[in-house]
Amino acid sequence: MSTVASYASDPMLAGVKTAIVGAVANDKLPQLTARQLSIVLIVHTETGERHTISSLADRLNVSAPSITASVKRLIDVGDLVRRDTDRDDGRVVVLGRTAAGSNYVRSFTASLHKGNKIAA
């Protein structure tokens, strides 16, 4: 089996592809970069965690200014995350969930499930 053929038949990859293509093709959803999508998914699915600019920068292996710019874009395109100031340290920005971000994740998840059904 060639490498290309093994990718083509991978149901997980097919599901991810369908979700991403569906999100890109849906003109009602904001178009996000991989970094922006990662931030939205982390903030909205890891609800027990405290997500700061620096913790996301460490996790995504990028600079804090890169995360700050991505967060600004996420807010500008549709309030997909919320910026809060830490109560104990006003210098720290903590990210939170929003209704718009939850709706985005819901739509993305529905596309992912649709893709997995198609691939099965």
Q: How confident is the model at residue 20 (pLDDT cuts 50, 70, 90)?
A: confident
The structure's pTM equals 0.82
What domains appear along the chain, each with residue ranges and CATH number?
A: 3-119 (1.10.10.10)
Q: What's residue 5's pLDDT?
A: 57
Residue 81 burial (C-beta neighbours within 10 Å; 0-12, 13-18, 19+)? buried
Q: What's residue 96's pLDDT?
A: 96
Condensed to tens digits (0 to 9), the pLDDT of residues 40-83 reads 999 999 988 899 999 999 999 999 999 999 999 999 999 999 99
Task: Look up tokens 């499930």; give the residue.
Answer: 113
Q: How confident is the model at residue 1 (pLDDT cuts 50, 70, 90)?
A: very low
Treating both helix axes as pointing N-terminal to C-terminal, what angle do 53-60 and 34-45 enclose, rounded to 10 degrees? 120
